């Protein structure tokens, strides 16, 4: 059993900052890529940022220069620092990870989502 638990969402004013975090727990042998996706009302889920096992990040064009993804392999966590937030960043943010379990299974796992609302 592998679980992803997100934290840190909430309400923030335009131009503000927010940090969301995600912890991976369970019978994990290795964590490969990790990432953050978001889904706004009436829209499809989209990739926001991803980070490889080696720590190489990539970002959606809409968040480049404003968001920063990082991971702590010792704590099995991935973080997303969001700066200069805009109302269009409002969405449910989902953590994603590709893991190998201790029994050798390769899984793609999702968190339950955390709501980020950017509004004055």
Q: List pLDDT tens digits, range 37-50.
A: 999 999 999 999 99
Q: How confident is the model at residue 99 (pLDDT cuts 50, 70, 90)?
A: very high
Q: How confident is the model at residue 28 (pLDDT cuts 50, 70, 90)?
A: very high
Residue 70's SS3 state is strand
Give Cα separations from 20 to 1, 28, 32, 63 (angstroms): 23, 22, 19, 15
Strands, sheet with 2-7, edge to edge from the N-terminal-most edge strand? 2-7, 18-26, 77-82, 67-72
Q: List pLDDT tens digits, range 33-83.
A: 999 999 999 999 999 999 999 999 999 999 999 999 999 999 999 999 999
Provide the pLDDT for residue 64: 98
Backbone angles phi, psi at 43, to 5 degrees: -120, 165
């Amino acid at each position: 059993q592998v679980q992803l638990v997100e934290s840190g969402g909430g309400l923030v004013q335009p131009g503000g900052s927010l940090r969301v975090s995600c912890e991976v727990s369970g019978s994990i042998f290795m964590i490969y890529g990790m990432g953050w996706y978001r889904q706004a009302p009436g829209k499809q889920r989209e990739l926001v940022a991803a980070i490889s096992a080696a720590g190489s990040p990539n970002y959606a064009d809409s968040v480049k220069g404003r968001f920063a993804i990082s991971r702590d392999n010792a704590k099995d966590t991935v973080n997303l620092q969001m700066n200069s937030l805009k109302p269009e960043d409002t969405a449910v943010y989902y953590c994603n990870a590709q893991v190998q379990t201790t029994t050798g299974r390769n899984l793609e796992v999702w968190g339950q989502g955390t709501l980020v609302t950017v509004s004055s």
